[in-house]
Amino acid sequence: MKIAIIDYGMGNLFSVEQAVLRLGCEAIVSANPQELLQADALILPGVGAFTDAYTCLEQTGLKEVVEQAVAKETPLLGICLGMQLLFESSEENGQHKGLGIFKGHIRRFDDKKARVPHMGWNELNFTNTAEWLAKENLTDRYVYFVHSYVATDFAEEQLIAYADYAEVRVPGIVQKGHVTGMQFHPEKSGSCGATLLQGWVNQLKVEVAK
């Protein structure tokens, strides 16, 4: 099974690639639209600022690749900033439009109530389930976050898990159809992150086998 990692110039590509390889999948890092759309699944990573990332997606033509993949129901996983890009908008450095796949808006943590950025290990609390998620396998539910902005006004039915931080319910995992988002870094989240990625990949294998 081939998983393609979208290289639009703002991703933590190497660590994500290594995490995919550890799961026994073929991993490719590519900015080639044809190559990306031929993969069994896509990962949209991301580090940095929302505006810069969205601009890079547009300028490289990879925004259309993401939209085409979603339209054809190719499984897509957004990680950290990659997840935030999938929401309707962000207030980072002004108001900016997002890809609009998930309902909600990206806003900065309140500096008066929270230490920004939100950096460190937090426990996931699960509110819904997903076909790929086997919660009984998660003996460790702590994952690693690094972010200053958080998804708000989200749809409860799209929320799979959240973490508590400074009186804020931080969406940790969201899902809509074949699109999944993880605000934390699963590739840096030890056994919990590995288990979550394995569950996501296992579901992909079921879909590919159909």
Does 187 participate in catalysis according to the annotation? Answer: yes
Of 105, 118, 147, 185, which one is the catalytic site residue?
185
Helix residue spans in 25-61 (DSSP H):
33-37, 50-60
For the record, the structure tokens of 192 come out as 């919990």
Query: What is the pLDDT, as a whole number, of residue 137?
Result: 76
Domain count, the chain: 1
For the record, the structure tokens of 32 come out as 């080639």
Query: What is the pLDDT, as a whole number, of residue 119?
Result: 96
Which residues, 6+ apart, have CB-to-CB distance to 166 below 8 Å?
109, 110, 113, 114, 115, 118
The H or E element spanning position 6 is strand 2-6
Q: In tens digits, what is the pLDDT along the chain, a chain of 210 residues?
A: 999 999 999 878 999 999 999 999 999 999 999 999 999 999 999 999 999 999 999 999 999 999 999 999 999 999 999 999 999 999 998 999 999 999 999 999 999 988 999 999 999 999 998 888 877 678 899 999 999 999 999 999 999 999 999 999 999 999 999 999 999 999 999 999 999 999 999 887 767 666
Q: Which residue has the tokens 């990962």?
A: 43
Q: Under DSSP, is residue 111 helix (H, G, I), strand (E, B) or coil?
A: coil
Does 80 participate in catalysis according to the annotation? Answer: yes
Query: What is the pLDDT, as a whole number, of residue 209?
Result: 63
Of 92, 105, 118, 187, which one is the catalytic site residue?
187
Domain membership of residue 176 as a residue range: 2-209
Helix residue spans in the chain (DSSP H):
13-22, 33-37, 50-60, 62-71, 81-84, 190-209
Of 80, 92, 147, 192, which one is the catalytic site residue?
80
Look up the CATH number of the domain holding residue 154: 3.40.50.880
